[in-house]
Amino acid sequence: MTPPDSAPTAALGSRQFRFGAITIDRVLEFQDAIFPPAVVFPQATRAAVESHRGWLEPRLRDPARGLLMFSFHTFVIRTPRRTIVVDTCGGNDKPRPGKPRYHQRHWPYLERLAAVGVTAENVDAVVCTHLHADHVGWNTRLVEGRWVPTFPRARYLFVRREWEFWREEYKTERFTGDPYHEDSILPILDAGLADFVESDLRLDDGVWLEPTPGHTPGHVAVHVSGGGRDAVLSGDLMHHALQCAEPEWSSCFCVDPAHSARTRRAFLERYAGTDTLIMPAHFPAPTAGHIVRDGHGFRFLFDEAAHS
Ligand SMILES: [Zn+2]
C-alpha cells in the first residue's frame, strides 16, 4: 500500500481548498495502512471495530490486513501576505531506530511542495501543532552532515507550553523515543528562528491558533476563516475517523488520554452539523470533511469533491 517515493502528487489526493483570499494545500509525505486498531487505540475491542467495518473499509482500514490507514502530510496556508506551513511530517535522513517507518527515509517532499508552488525560501512561518516526531521532521534537513533549517526565512512558531513540557520530558527516564529533539527542534533554536508563542496566537487576518490540549499539553489546532467559510486543521486531536464514532478512544500516543478524550468530545460537539471543514493531520486522502452526529457518537463525512 506504500506509494513509491516517486508517486506523482496528483495520484495522492492533492487539491487546493479556498477560503476567500486564503488557500490551503495538502502536501503528502506518505500514506499507508500501519496500525492494528487495538494497538493505536487501547480501548478498542474487536467487537466494536467490527461494528464499524461497513464504513471503515477500504479507505480507512485495509480489509486484507485489518490495519488502519494513516496519512502523513503538511498543510500549506497561503494568505495575501504570508505562506504558512503546518506540521512537517517525519522528514528525510532522520535516524529513527524506534520507528522504522520514519527511519532514514527519502521522500520527494520538497518536490511535492514545489509542485504546489512553494519553495523552501518563500515559507514565512512554520507551525507545529505539537512536538511529536511526525510533526517536526521537515523542520530541518541534512546538509553536509549538519541539520539545518529547511525553511531558512521562516519563523518557527512553537507553543510555549508545548516546548516547556518537552524540554523537561526529553531529560527524564520516561522518554525512550528517538532523537528528534536534537535533529529537528534544537537546530531551529540554534539558528535563532524559533518563536515561543501562546496557544491562541493570531498569525494573520483569518488565521489563528486554538488550544486543544490533551494529546500533548500544548497541542493546538489552526483555524482558517475567509470568504464566509471556515476550516480547522485539527492536528492529532483525533488520529483516525474511528474516534468520531468512539470519542472516548484516545491513542496510545496521548500524553493525557482522559484530557484528550474530553477535548475531542468538546470539539466534535462544537463542529457537528456545521459547515466547518475539518482537516486532521492523519486522515487519508481526501483528508478534509465534516462532522455529523450519529447516535451517541459522530461520523466523519469526507469531502468527496476533494478527491482529485
Ligand atoms: Zn501525529
End-to-end alpha-carbon separation of the chain, Å? 19
- Cα 299 to ligand 1 centroid, rounded to whole Å: 21
Which grid cell is 109?
Answer: 517532499
- Cα 281 to ligand 1 centroid, rounded to whole Å: 6
- Cα 85 to ligand 1 centroid, rounded to whole Å: 15
Q: How does pLDDT run across 242-279, given as a tens digit for each residue?
A: 999 999 999 999 999 999 999 999 999 999 999 999 99
User: Cis link prior to 58 (omega < 30° from 0)?
Assistant: yes
pLDDT reported for residue 15: 76
pLDDT reported for residue 14: 65
- Cα 282 to ligand 1 centroid, rounded to whole Å: 7
- Cα 7 to ligand 1 centroid, rounded to whole Å: 22
pLDDT reported for residue 175: 80
- Cα 99 to ligand 1 centroid, rounded to whole Å: 13
Dist CA 245 CA 169 (whole Å): 32
Which grid cell is 49?
Answer: 471495530
- Cα 57 to ligand 1 centroid, rounded to whole Å: 22
**Residue found by looking up cell 499507508 in the block:** 32
Contacts of 122 (CB under 8 A, 6+ apart): 83, 153
Q: How does pLDDT run across 11-23, given as a tens digit for each residue?
A: 455 679 999 999 9
Q: How does pLDDT run across 21-71, given as a tens digit for each residue?
A: 999 999 999 999 999 999 999 999 999 999 999 999 999 999 999 999 999
Q: How does pLDDT run across 110-120, given as a tens digit for each residue?
A: 999 999 999 99
Which grid cell is 12?
Answer: 495522492
- Cα 37 to ligand 1 centroid, rounded to whole Å: 16
Q: Give the global pTM.
A: 0.94
Q: What is the mean pLDDT of residues 302-306?
A: 79
What pLDDT band is residue 305 in, cutting at 50, 70 and 90? confident
- Cα 34 to ligand 1 centroid, rounded to whole Å: 13
**Residue found by looking up cell 487501547 in the block:** 42
- Cα 134 to ligand 1 centroid, rounded to whole Å: 5
